[in-house]
Amino acid sequence: MCLAVPAKVIEIAPDGASGRVEVGGVVKPVSFALLDHVTLGDYVLIHVGFALSRIDPEEAKKTLALFAQMAEAAG
Amino acid sequence: MTTIDLTHGSGGRAMHRLIKDVFAQAFDNHILAQGNDQAAFDVAGGRMVMSTDGFVISPLFFPGGDIGSLAVHGTVNDVALAGAKPLYLSAGFIIEEGFPLSDLVTIAHSMARAAQEAGGWIITGDTKVVERGKGDGVFITTTGVGVVPPGLELSGDKIRPGDAILVSGTMGDHGVAVLSQREGLSFETQILSDCASLNHLIADMVAAVPTLRCLRDPTRGGLAATLNELAHQSGVGMAVQESAIPVRPEVAGACELLGLDPLNVANEGKLVAFCPPEDAERLLTVLRGHPLGKDAAIIGHALDDPRCFVRMETRMGGVRMIDWLSGEQLPRIC
Amino acid sequence: MKYVDEYRDGATAAKLARAIAALAQPERVYRLMEFCGGHTHAISRHGLTDLLPPNVEMIHGPGCPVCVLPIERLEAAIHLALSEGVILCSYGDMLRVPAAKGRSLLKARAEGADVRMVYSTTDALQVAQDNPERQVVFFAIGFETTTPPTAVALLHAKALGLKNFSVFCNHVLTPAAIQGILDGAQGERPLDGVIGPSHVSTIIGSQAYEPFAFKHALPVVIAGFEPLDVMQSILMLISQINAGRHEVENQYIRAVTRSGNAKAQALVAEVFELRPSFAWRGLGTVPWSALSIRDAFADLDAEKRFEVPAFTSQDNKACACADIIRGRKKPRDCKLFGTACTPDSPLGACMVSSEGACAAHWTFGRFRDGEAAQ
C-alpha cells in the first residue's frame, strides 16, 4: 500500500545519503537513507520523500514478457 | 517609499499618488485617465454580461503568472464563456500593510498585459489598505462586462443527450504550477500555469459553430467538478474516455507523486465545450487552429441519465465514475 | 512515465481479463482480498472490477492506515495541537479525518492550532530546526512502508540532539492485521486468497507472509501497484486455488525480494518495539500489531513528553465496517452508506479515506447501485 512511485535518480549528494529524482519531468529531492549503493540512472520507488527499493530492470522486463505470455495463452 | 502603508488606503495624497503612479500608469486608457470615481461608457445594443470574482491565491507569483494576470484572465473568461465580447474591467485591491511596492507594480503591469491580450480595458477600481496580518499580501476583485451578439444563448442547461464533449487542451497545468510553489511539497517542474484569456478562441468557435450549447472553464475542482455541475444543470449523464483526455506527462508525473487526480486539478486557460454531435469535428478543427486550442480533443458525449452521473471508460477498459471532489484536494501518502 | 505506463496497457489488460475468465472455474466462487488500500484505490480508479468474471470477488481489506487509526489516537493528536501549543506536523491524509463532534486537524488549524502538512519526515525535522523555541510533534501513521522514514527521523533527531522534536507513533503491522482478519473468521472461510501489498512488501519481504499462508492454507500473491500487476496477480491466485496450492508467490519481482529491505528493517528494529495490543478501528483489538518507541529514544516519544488524556469513542452502532473489512458485507449493504455516511461526513473506517472500501465505492462505483443486474 502506500503510494510509491518509480523515479529516476538524477543526482546523488557526495555523502550518498540524499539526492534528486525525476518522474515524468518533475524533479524532487529524496533521501537515500534506506538504500545502499544507489547509482545515477537507477530507478527507485519513492514514498514520502524516501527511496524504498531499487527497480530491477531485468525483472521488470521479465514481468512484461510474462504479461504478454499469459495474455497470448488466453488467445 | 518601498512598501505599502496605511496612508495609501486612507484617501489622501498618498493614495492619490499610488493610483496615479502604479495603476493609472500601468492600465493607461482614456477612461481611467479622466480620474473619476466611476467610469462612463457607451454600449452597442445587445444583451450585456457581467461577472465578478475575488482572487486570493497564494502564492501570489507562480510559474506562468501571478494574482494580477489570473484576475484579469479569470474575469475575461467568465464573460467570454457566455459568448460575450469582453469590454471593460474594474479592479479592486485590498493590500496588506507592508506589501512591497515593487510587487504591486509587477502585478499592475501583469494585469495591463493580460488586459491588452484580451482586448479589454481596466477602467475603474478601488484601493484599500488593511493592517499587517489582516490580509495575505494582496487580494484582488475584478468585475467584467461584455456584450453578447444577438441570438447567441450559451447556457449550462442546454446540453442534450448525444451532444459531444470537447476540451480545449491539457488538464491540470495551473494547479500543478501553483502547487509546485507551496511550502512542504518541494518539487521542481517546468510546468507553467495555462492562465490565458480565451475570448478570441471563443469568438472563432461561436462564429464557426453557432449550434454550440455551452462553454465553461474547469477552474477550481478541475474537469471533474465542471462535468458534474453541467450534468446536473442540464439533467443529463455523461460518458468520457480517459485515453482521450489530454494531460501533459509532467502534470501526470506530479499528480502520481502527490497522489492527485489530474481531473480534480484547476485550469485557468482551458474550456469545456458542448455541441451537437454532427458539429463536433468542425468545432475540433476550429479549436486546433488556434494557439490556445492546439491540444483540443473530443473526450466523450452526454447521455440520457436522470441521476446525472459522469462515467469514464478507463484506459484499462473498465468503467468508473468521475465524482466531485470531497473538500480540498490534499496530497496522499497512501 | 517509465515503469508506470507499460503496466497500464489497455490491450494487454483485455487479454489478461480473457485469461482470468478462462481459468476461473464457473462452479466456484473466488473470494480474494486485496489487503492494501492503495490496491483498492487502483482497482476502483481503473475500473478493474469490470474486467473480472462475476465469480471472482474482490474484498477490500483493512490496509489503509488512515482508515484503521482509532479515533482516540486522532483525538490525542488534535489535543496536542490545540492544548499543548505544539507545531503538529502531519501527512496530508490525516488532516480532514473527522474525530468526535466533527473535530479534525484542519478544523483545529482554523481554531488557531499550528498544524502543518508535510510530505516527508525530513520536512518535520526541518520545522523543528527552524523553530527551536517551539515544540514540534510529528504525527506518525502508516504501515511498514511508512515506518522506516520515521525511524530515520528519530535517529537523525537523536544525533542532532534536538530537544524540541518528538513523534506520536501510530505505526501498524500488515501480517498481524491479515492474521486478525483470519482469526476473527469464527469457522467461516472468509477468503480464498490474498493479494499482498506492493510497497509494504519491499520492506518486509515476501517471507513475512509465509507463516500464515502455511497456517491458514491460504495462497498469497504479492502484487505490483499497477493495474496489469493486479490482473496478473489475480490470475496467479486463481491458478493456485484451482491446484489446491497455498504458497506465497511474488508477482512484483521488479521491486520485492524474499527478505525485503534489510537496512530499513534494521533501522526500524533499532528504534521501535511491538505494542502488546492495539485497538484498530473496524478490526477491533489485535495483539502485537503496532509499534511504540523504544526506551532508548523515550525522550523523543510524544506520549512520554506530553500528558495525553485518554479518550474513548465508539463508532455508530449501525456502522458495518467490521463486516465490510472481512468481506461479509458490501458497502451498499450498510444502512448508513450514502445517506448519513459519505466522504464529506464519514462515520466509519471504510469511508474516512479515499482508499477505504466505502469511499472507493462512493467515489468510483456508486453509479451502478440501483442499476439492473448485468
Flag if C200 and A71 touch (Cβ within 8 Å).
no
Cell of residue B177, nine digits: 504550477
Q: How far apart are the first and last CA of chain A?
A: 32
In a 3-state reduction of DSSP, which class is residue B53?
Answer: strand
pLDDT of B54-80, one tens digit each?
A: 999 988 999 999 999 999 999 999 999
Q: Checking DSSP bridges between strand C87-90 and strand C136-142, what pairing results, if any?
A: parallel
Flag if B318 and C46 touch (Cβ within 8 Å).
yes
* Judgement on whether residues B169 and B308 belong to the same structural domain of the protein: yes
**Distance from A33 to chain B by nearest Cα, in Å?**
19
| Single-letter amino acid code for the residue at C254 | R
Q: What is the distance between the alpha carbons of residues B106 and B333, in angstroms, rounded to a whole number?
A: 37
In a domain, B192, yes or no: yes
Instruction: Pick the last residue of a domain from B148, B173, B194.
Output: B148
In a 3-state reduction of DSSP, which class is residue B233?
Answer: helix
In a domain, B254, yes or no: yes
Size of chain A in residues: 75
In a domain, B157, yes or no: no
Of the ranges B142-156, B200-214, B314-328, which one carries the lowest mean pLDDT score? Answer: B314-328
pLDDT of C118-171, one tens digit each?
A: 989 999 999 999 999 999 999 999 999 999 999 999 999 999 999 999 999 999
User: In whole numbers, what is the pLDDT of chain A averaged over residues?
Assistant: 90
- Supply the CATH number for residue B49's domain: 3.30.1330.10
Domains with residue ranges and CATH for chain C: 1-306 (3.40.50.11740), 321-363 (no CATH)
Instruction: Pick the last residue of a domain from B83, B118, B148.
Output: B148
Flag if B327 and C344 touch (Cβ within 8 Å).
yes
Contact assessment for residue B112 and residue B174, using Cβ atoms and an 8 Å cutoff: no
Cell of residue C10, nine digits: 489497455
Residues of A contacting chain B (CB within 8 angstroms): 1-3, 5, 7, 23-29, 46-48
Given a cut of 90, whether residue B33 has pLDDT beyond it is no
Overall average pLDDT of the A27-51 stretch:
94
CB count within 10 Å of CB B24 equals 17
In a domain, B154, yes or no: no
| A neighbours by CB contacts (3+ pairs under 8 Å) | B, C
Overall average pLDDT of the B268-280 stretch:
98
User: Is omega for the bond preceding C26 within 30 degrees of 0, making it cis?
Assistant: no
pLDDT of B174-195, one tens digit each?
A: 999 998 887 656 777 788 999 9
Ranges of beta strands (E only) in chain B are 47-55, 61-62, 65-66, 85-96, 121-130, 138-148, 164-167, 214-216, 237-241, 272-275, 297-303, 310-313, 319-321
* Judgement on whether residues B175 and B132 belong to the same structural domain of the protein: no
Domain that holds residue B250: 164-321
Output the CA–CA distances (angstroms, integers) from residue B210 to B94, B118, B215, B275, in the order listed.
Answer: 41, 22, 12, 9
Flag if C146 and A47 touch (Cβ within 8 Å).
yes
- Which of A5, A11, A26, A45 is best to mutate for the B interface (most B CBs within 10 A)? A26
Task: Supply the angle between the helices C10-23 and A57-74 in degrees, to the nearest 10.
Answer: 60
* Judgement on whether residues B29 and B172 belong to the same structural domain of the protein: no
Q: Which residue of C has its CA nearest to B332?
A: C93
Q: Checking DSSP bridges between strand B61-62 and strand B65-66, what pairing results, if any?
A: antiparallel
Q: Supply angle C-alpha A68, A69, A75, rounded to 5.
A: 90
Q: Does C228 touch chain A (CB under 8 A)?
A: yes
Q: What is the pLDDT along chain C (374 residues), one digit of tens a residue?
A: 889 999 999 999 999 999 999 999 999 999 999 999 889 989 999 999 999 999 999 998 888 888 888 889 999 999 999 988 899 999 988 998 888 887 899 999 999 999 999 989 999 999 999 999 999 999 999 999 999 999 999 999 999 999 999 999 999 999 998 888 877 766 566 789 999 999 999 999 999 999 989 988 999 999 999 999 999 999 999 999 999 999 999 999 999 999 999 999 999 999 999 999 998 888 888 999 999 999 999 999 999 999 888 888 777 888 998 888 877 888 999 999 999 999 888 888 888 888 889 999 999 999 988 764 33
What residues contact B258, with CB distance under 8 A and at least 6 apart?
B179, B185, B331, B332, C119
Q: Which residue of B has its CA nearest to A47?
A: B333
Strand arrangement of the beta sheet that strand C30-36 belongs to: C56-63, C30-36, C193-196, C220-222, C248-250
Q: Supply angle C-alpha C147, C153, C159, rounded to 5.
A: 140
As for how many domains chain B has, the answer is 2
Closest in B190, B254, B332 to A3, CB measured: B332
Q: What is the distance between the alpha carbons of residues C273 and C288, in angstroms, rounded to a whole number?
A: 10
Flag if A2 and B252 touch (Cβ within 8 Å).
no
CATH of A5-74, picked from 3.30.70.3270, 2.30.30.140, 3.40.390.10, 2.60.40.10, is 2.30.30.140
* Judgement on whether residues B20 and B48 belong to the same structural domain of the protein: yes
The rounded Cα A13 to chain-centroid distance in angstroms is 18
Overall average pLDDT of the A14-35 stretch:
92
* Judgement on whether residues B143 and B168 belong to the same structural domain of the protein: no
* Judgement on whether residues B139 and B169 belong to the same structural domain of the protein: no
* Judgement on whether residues B172 and B75 belong to the same structural domain of the protein: no
- Tell me the chain B residues in contact with residue C47 when contact means C-beta distances shorter than 8 Å: 312-314, 316-320
Q: Does B187 touch chain A (CB under 8 A)?
A: yes
Q: How far apart are the first and last CA of chain C?
A: 36
Q: What is the distance between the alpha carbons of residues B120 and B91, in angstroms, rounded to a whole number?
A: 13
Q: Which residue of A has its CA nearest to B191?
A: A26
In a 3-state reduction of DSSP, which class is residue B212?
Answer: coil
- Supply the CATH number for residue B186's domain: 3.90.650.10
- Tell me the chain A residues in contact with residue B191 when contact means C-beta distances shorter than 8 Å: 26
Q: Does C61 touch chain A (CB under 8 A)?
A: no
**Distance from B256 to chain A by nearest Cα, in Å?**
7
pLDDT of the residue at C56: 97
pLDDT of the residue at A1: 43
Flag if A26 and B189 touch (Cβ within 8 Å).
yes
pTM for this one?
Answer: 0.90
In a 3-state reduction of DSSP, which class is residue B167?
Answer: strand
Q: Name the nearest CA neighbour of B178 among B169, B170, B187.
A: B187
Q: What is the distance between the alpha carbons of residues C357 and C37, in angstroms, rounded to a whole number?
A: 8
Flag if A25 and B188 touch (Cβ within 8 Å).
no
Contact assessment for residue C195 and residue C178, using Cβ atoms and an 8 Å cutoff: no
